[in-house]
Amino acid sequence: MPDPRRGTLLVMGAGGHGKVVAETAEAAGWSDVRFLDDRVPTGSRVAAWPVEGTFPTALQAAKGTSVVVAVGDNALRLDWIDRLARLGIDCPAIVSPHAIVSSRASIGEGTVVVAGAIVAIAARIGRACIVNTACSIDHDCEIGDGTHVSPGARLGGGVIVGARSWIGIGATVRNDLRIGTDAVIGAGSTVVRPVADGSTVIGVAAQPKRRDASESAHPPVG
């Protein structure tokens, strides 16, 4: 149900992930959701929502307007949240009513938790994270700022993930492991040992992958 106490929510990014975020926000009670996008014409519509301007529009957000950053690039998403926060602009966490989030878990500003996700007791999710469809983050996990936990990924209890990392679709991480900053866990991988900062690991009992210079560290979302 829309919550009349909530003002306008600007969603930065009108791609596929942006549409998921906009719909999640509506389900969470936001009644006035609008897009900002540098590549979609202002005044047009994407799905059910109008495009009000480009990304810099967010920096002049009026009082009572909130902003969420819906881009897949982890570093860019976190950078925008930092810039907006320095200006005192509200960047709320957006949590789907169809997610299961413990009342004893914490969710950082600008993080989006979408339908079907599970966040267990004493888990701590940082700022500007994506907790994507039907993923599971078990008790006492710590997820660093700007990290993306992809659809269907499973993290056992006590896993620590550094900032700006990417846990691929359907990946499984054994309990009590540390995943470093800027790390990539390939889709469907099973991780049974710690992962160093900046590493990419793939496969069952996932092994480091030598990254080709042309590869992106963080596959796009939307």
Query: Do 192 and 140 have their domain in common?
Result: yes
Whether pLDDT at 96 is above 90: yes
In a domain, 176, yes or no: yes
Query: Do 97 and 204 have their domain in common?
Result: yes
- If one compares 217 and 189, the residue with the highest pLDDT of the two is 189
Query: Do 124 and 200 have their domain in common?
Result: yes
Query: Do 175 and 196 have their domain in common?
Result: yes
98 is catalytic: no
**Do 81 and 66 meet the contact criterion of CB atoms below 8 Å apart?**
no
Whether pLDDT at 220 is above 70: no
Q: Choose the final residue of a domain: 65, 92, 119.
A: 92
Model confidence pLDDT, tens digit, residues 198-210: 999 999 877 787 6
Whether pLDDT at 6 is above 80: no
**Do 179 and 185 meet the contact criterion of CB atoms below 8 Å apart?**
yes
- The dihedrals phi and psi of 72, each to the nearest 5 degrees, come to -80, -25
Q: Choose the final residue of a domain: 92, 123, 152.
A: 92
Query: Do 62 and 113 have their domain in common?
Result: no
Query: Do 180 and 124 have their domain in common?
Result: yes
How many domains in the chain? 2
Whether pLDDT at 195 is above 70: yes
What is the spatial distance between Cα 142 and Cα 2, in angstroms, rounded to a whole number? 31
Whether pLDDT at 150 is above 90: yes
Q: How confident is the model at residue 221 (pLDDT cuts 50, 70, 90)?
A: low
Residue of 17, 98, 139, 148 marked active site: 139
Query: Do 132 and 113 have their domain in common?
Result: yes
Query: Do 104 and 180 have their domain in common?
Result: yes
Give alpha helix (H) positions in the chain.
Answer: 16-27, 74-86
Model confidence pLDDT, tens digit, residues 38-84: 999 999 999 999 999 999 999 999 889 999 999 999 999 999 999 99
Q: How confident is the model at residue 7 (pLDDT cuts 50, 70, 90)?
A: confident
Domain range for 155 is: 93-208
Output the pLDDT for position 209. 77
Query: Do 199 and 99 have their domain in common?
Result: yes
Report the percentage of the chain scoring pLDDT > 70: 92
Reference 205, options 182, 181, 177; nearest CA is: 177
Model confidence pLDDT, tens digit, residues 114-135: 999 999 999 999 999 999 999 9
- If one compares 215 and 187, the residue with the highest pLDDT of the two is 187
Query: Do 56 and 156 have their domain in common?
Result: no
Whether pLDDT at 215 is above 90: no
Whether pLDDT at 29 is above 80: yes
Q: Choose the final residue of a domain: 66, 92, 118.
A: 92
In a domain, 1, yes or no: no
Q: Say which CATH number the domain at 151 has.
A: 2.160.10.10
In a domain, 218, yes or no: no
**Rounded to 5 degrees, what angle do the CA atoms 170, 147, 140 make?**
80
Reference 219, options 180, 184, 179, 173; nearest CA is: 184
Query: Do 88 and 131 have their domain in common?
Result: no
